[in-house]
Structure 1
Amino acid sequence: MTTTKRAAELRRALRSFNSECWSFDAEPTVRLLRGYEVAWNAALPWLPLAQQRLGEAAGSPSERARWQELIDKVRPPKSGRLKGTSYADLVSLCAAVRAFLNALLDAERPGPTVAEIAEYVRRAVRAGHFLPGEPIHVGQIAEEVGSPPDRVRRALQDVGDSGANTLTAAGQLASVSVRPMQTATAPRPTSTP
């Protein structure tokens, strides 16, 4: 299946799911159980693709954790029994399914992976493109590498978590004590479909 067709199918699944979610009612229990069924039926066909995305995120701890959390939140219980059948639990499940489908849709967008962006930032810091203590802005990097800002934020989280750099309270990366490399430029990450 091509990326364009998969994105179109994801959009259709999300629209269909959203329209069915708005028709849920807290009573009676049958309608509530139907809501769980609708939510899981919207997510289940996309779990293999999410598992693929999880595998592709091997170079990014934050991206792996994100995909694992998204998958865990939408997967039906293994026992087949619901832990809770409250309306609040159903609303939480619906929010998780929306986030899951939106994440899959976002992953269809072209651009470098989170791991590639993180490596680009590390190289740029080592090359002296970002001076120690200088904030690195998400929008600037997103524009440079041709990536959605959310991927850049996750990449900066990985770079910050690596210990060589720190994240500021504003979510910007502030480089610290990094010796510049001999090269003058940081290579641009390659774009993967």
Structure 2
Amino acid sequence: MDYYACDISAKMLSQSSIPADRKFVGKATDIEFPRDSFDYIFLLGVTTYQSPDEFDQTLAFISARLAPFGKAILSFTNRSSLDHFFRGILRLAKPMISAGVMAQSFATHAYSQGDVAEMIETHDLYVAKSTYLNHTFSPFNTLLPRSSVSLARWIGSNCPAALLPICSADFIVFVEQASSRV
């Protein structure tokens, strides 16, 4: 197996055990990787912090660099979730918050699965599979982490599928090239 990693944060990469010749600082769209195509592309915890234009450029990169029958796995903040709703309410208290992600000055973006599918399809890609995950709710996941984990497990095992969109802070999509669609 051959792999490469990139992150816009040199500090994040320095914390990893990835060999120096395999890690790159910057945006994937700006990096000259030693390969032209990839069997798998993982974009986890990134889309929330990309502007819509940056995300569109990333999709173009994925479309151009994904090997035939390759897969891209992308995670998203779920716009339909209670967690996203509660975080919006908590942002009203932003002037009083001095630490953590909530205190950051950068914009964040949340998506619905339908929005993601539409954006992906404009790049000759399609969503082969999607699933909801991270069944947590702010601020309870921070204030009561053990209880939050127990509740998340219970939701993951017992929640009706129709309620997962509101009970899941994130979702993940498995993307393939439209030309490989069976």
User: Is TM (by shorter chain) over 0.5?
Assistant: no
TM-score bracket for this pair, using the shorter chain length? under 0.3
Max radius of gyration: which structure?
A: 1
Structure (1/2) with the larger helix percentage: 1
Structure (1/2) with the larger strand percentage: 2
